[in-house]
Amino acid sequence: MYDAIEHILFDETEISNAVNRIACSVNNDYENEQLVVIGVLKGSFIFLADLIRKLDIDFTIDFIRASSYGENTESAGNVRIISDISENIENSNVLLVEDIIDTGYTLSYIVDYLRGFSPLSIRICTLFDKPCKRVIPIKPDYAGIVIDDRFIVGYGLDYNEKYRGIPYVGVPKFDPKK
């Protein structure tokens, strides 16, 4: 057990099962289609790495990074793109891969931004979803695990850029709002 973790919420097996379920649906939905998988940095990189190794369809990979000013643990609503995609996604099917959707500010901003490039389709895939925290009504097409209002770290998810490398997902001992 890592020092900063109060208790484990989802172990490696539970996470892997969720990733497998999502991969299964994605494989079915994009059979015979070209896909651009876009990871939302930084949090999604571990989930994305595991997910794409379960895909048996044709795809390319790109990344985007957005940031919001304000509080540490919640989006403040004023999102901006700080690292852009490098592929041409015009007329492509896009699958956005996110670690967790909370208020929805980050992802709805990114979806609107990417629509400007005229992709054929955009779908959203998230490993964790906190629908009870939603401010912007955005619904993922693929959601691995739905959780209630709690702050989690590990498996790519950070607190102040730490704890991303923890192989499971846990609740920190500290209060993330302080």
Q: How far is the CB of 151 from ligand IMP (least distance, A)?
A: 4
Which C-beta is closer to ligand IMP: that of 61 or that of 111? 111
Please tell me whether residue 126 binds ligand IMP under the rule CB under 6 A: no
Please tell me whether residue 152 binds ligand IMP under the rule CB under 6 A: yes
Of the candidates 58, 68, 61, 165, which has an alpha carbon nearest to the alpha carbon of residue 108? 68
Query: Which neighbouring-strand residues pair with 64?
Result: 40
| Alpha carbon distance 108, 25 (integer Å) | 22
Q: How far is the CB of 118 from ligand IMP (least distance, A)?
A: 24
What distance lies between CA 28 and its chain's CA centroid? 20
Which C-beta is closer to Mg ion: that of 43 or that of 170? 43
Q: How far is the CB of 71 from ligand IMP (least distance, A)?
A: 10
Of the candidates 66, 137, 59, 58, which has an alpha carbon nearest to the alpha carbon of residue 98? 66
**Edge-to-edge strands of the sheet including 121-129?**
79-83, 59-68, 35-41, 93-101, 121-129, 142-146
DSSP 3-state of 88: coil
Q: At what angle are helices 12-29 and 45-52 packed, to 10 degrees?
A: 60
Residue 104: contacted member of ligand IMP, Mg ion, none (CB under 5 to 8 Å, by partner type): ligand IMP
Q: 27-86: which residues touch Mg ion (CB under 5 A)? A: 43
Return the active site residues. 102
Q: 52-111: which residues touch ligand IMP (CB under 6 A)? A: 74-75, 98-107
Please tell me whether residue 10 binds ligand IMP under the rule CB under 6 A: no
Q: How far is the CB of 44 from ligand IMP (least distance, A)?
A: 8
Which C-beta is closer to ligand IMP: that of 23 or that of 127? 127
